[in-house]
């Protein structure tokens, strides 16, 4: 049992100072493990590589208790690059405090959430002994390939009897107002790389060349003009966006030899990756031009159905923030998509409006509120079960 609760502000400052740009850890996970070990958690270091990934990844699982009920917190310590550091008001890995905010890469996404839950657990343990288990699933691979992180740790957890009854992911779930949103699902994501091969030539002699650009336009038109669906009560409509189109030309008087485009589809639960791939091929075939396409992704859509876990989280947030908190499936992808295969999972964290931006920051008031909410969720979960 801990004697003094941890301070989420100083913890977050310390975490930000580890320059853990994905896939490098730089000591961020060891920092968290130090505090967890002091609280009596058993630590399992779980580095993974291979599995189609291009680099090794640091992960760990920590558990206090050996029986149910079992609540797990899932988060990541890796962050996206800072970009042009000259554009930052404060050093991106300095964890500086100004105007009631902590500045730094990962402040919201999601080192602040990790530290808030760590502080919430330390507060809980100052006056209670857990009647079940509390665990942490921490990965260093969420912001990149996501093949040697959470998905591999969950496989290990399943094999060793550590699958929780419920899971909370600390992703920044609130677009504008703290307490407005809990993610109870996410859309899937599928990437595409489309290539049309022609024959290079001079624009003055098109009969000696084969221009691939008009063909690529026809193919892209077939994709963008199609209405995949109109959404449903839980998800918005499936959406395809073209992200790049390129021919590699450096001169205006050349018919290119190749034209290519990349696109991404965010899809709802009316599709799977496999059914969507079949649909993409069918649409492209309607253009009646030769093409090559590569389709890939490891993010299926999911939704946690209503139930006692979702209701508990929503009720705590509504009471603590005064917001009419709603469960939704907005935002991008997250590692919750892997967890959803094993247990009910929801996502709640800080504001998302500065994540991946220059001058990413978290309000200190929000960090304390988040810690308070996490603590109350732990208390009520064990009372409920």
- Per-residue model confidence (pLDDT) at position 52: 87
* 342, containing H or E segment: none
Decide: pTM greater than 0.95.
Answer: no
Q: Pick the catalytic residue: 25, 109, 142, 171?
A: 142
Edge-to-edge strand list for the sheet holding 239-246? 239-246, 258-267, 188-197, 292-299
Does the pLDDT of residue 1 top 60, yes or no?
Answer: no
CATH top-level class of 8-186+301-384? alpha beta
Map residue 366 onto helix, strand or coil.
helix
Interval 33-69: pLDDT, tens: 999 999 999 999 999 999 888 999 999 999 999 999 9
pLDDT at residue 2 greater than cutoff 70: no
d(CA 65, CA 40): 9
Is 45 a residue of the active site? no
Task: Say whether domain 188-299 belongs to CATH 3.40.50.620.
Answer: no
Alpha carbons 363 and 99: distance in angstroms, whole number: 9
Please state the separation of Cα 337 from the chain's center in Å: 9
Q: Give the integer Cα–Cα distance in Å for 368 and 375.
A: 11
Query: Could you give the residue range(s) of every CATH 3.40.630.10 domain in the chain?
Result: 8-186+301-384
Decide if 167 contacts 161 (C-beta within 8 A). Answer: no
171-227 tens-digit pLDDT: 999 999 999 999 999 999 999 999 999 999 999 999 999 999 999 999 999 999 999
Cβ-proximal residues to 274 (8 Å cutoff; 6+ apart), any chain: none
- What three-state secondary structure class fits 33? helix
**Selected catalytic residue, list 25, 78, 141, 335:** 78
Task: Say what angle helices 8-16 and 28-38 make with each other, to 10 degrees.
Answer: 150
Res. 298 pLDDT band, cuts 50 70 90:
confident
Task: Tell me the C-alpha distance between 168 and 136, whole Å.
Answer: 10
Nearest to 309 by CA among 369, 382, 219: 382
Cβ-proximal residues to 30 (8 Å cutoff; 6+ apart), any chain: none
- CATH 3.30.70.360 domain locations along the chain: 188-299
Q: Within its chain, how far is the Cα of 87 from the centroid?
A: 25
CA distance 382 to 295: 44
- pLDDT of 118-150, one tens digit each? 999 999 999 889 999 999 999 999 999 999 999
Q: Kindly report, residue by residue over 321-332, the tens digit of the pLDDT.
A: 999 999 999 988
- Residue 262, beta-bridge partner list: 193, 244
Q: How far apart are alpha carbons 337 and 237 in whole angstroms?
A: 19
Q: 376 an active-site residue? A: no
Rg (CA), the chain: 23
């Amino acid at each position: 049992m801990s004697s003094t609760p941890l301070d989420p502000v100083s913890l977050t400052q310390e975490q930000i100072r580890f320059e853990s740009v994905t896939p490098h850890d730089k000591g961020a996970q060891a920092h968290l493990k130090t505090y967890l070990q002091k609280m009596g958690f058993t630590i399992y270091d779980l580095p993974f590589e291979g599995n189609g990934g291009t680099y090794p990844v640091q992960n760990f699982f920590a558990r206090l208790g050996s029986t149910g009920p079992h609540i797990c917190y899932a988060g990541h310590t890796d962050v996206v690059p800072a970009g042009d550091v000259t554009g930052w008001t404060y050093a991106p890995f300095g964890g500086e405090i100004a105007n009631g905010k902590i500045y730094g890469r990962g402040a919201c996404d999601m080192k602040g959430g990790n530290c808030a839950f760590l502080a919430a657990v330390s507060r809980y343990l100052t006056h209670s002994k857990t009647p079940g288990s509390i665990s942490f699933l921490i990965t260093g691979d969420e912001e990149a390939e996501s093949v040697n992180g959470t998905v591999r740790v969950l496989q290990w957890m399943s094999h060793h009897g550590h699958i929780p009854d419920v899971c909370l992911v600390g992703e920044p779930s609130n677009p504008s107002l703290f307490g407005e949103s809990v993610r109870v699902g996410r859309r899937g994501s599928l990437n595409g790389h489309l290539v049309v091969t022609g024959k290079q030539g001079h624009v003055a002699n098109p009969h000696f060349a084969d221009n691939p650009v008009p063909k690529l336009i026809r193919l892209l038109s077939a994709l963008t003009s199609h209405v995949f669906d109109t959404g449903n009560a839980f998800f918005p409509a499936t959406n395809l966006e073209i992200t790049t189109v390129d021919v590699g030309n450096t001169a205006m008087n050349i018919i290119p030899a190749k034209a290519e485009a990349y696109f991404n589809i965010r899809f709802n639960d009316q599709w799977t990756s496999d059914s969507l791939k079949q649909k993409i091929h069918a649409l492209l075939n309607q253009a009646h031009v030769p093409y090559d396409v590569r389709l890939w992704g490891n993010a299926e859509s999911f939704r946690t159905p209503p139930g006692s876990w979702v209701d508990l989280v929503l009720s705590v947030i509504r009471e603590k923030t005064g917001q009419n908190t709603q469960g939704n499936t907005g935002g991008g992808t997250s590692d919750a998509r892997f967890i959803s295969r094993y247990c009910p999972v929801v996502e709640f964290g800080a504001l998302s409006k500065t994540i991946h931006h220059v001058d990413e920051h978290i309000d200190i008031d929000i960090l304390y509120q988040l810690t308070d909410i996490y603590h109350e969720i732990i208390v009520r979960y064990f009372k409920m079960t």
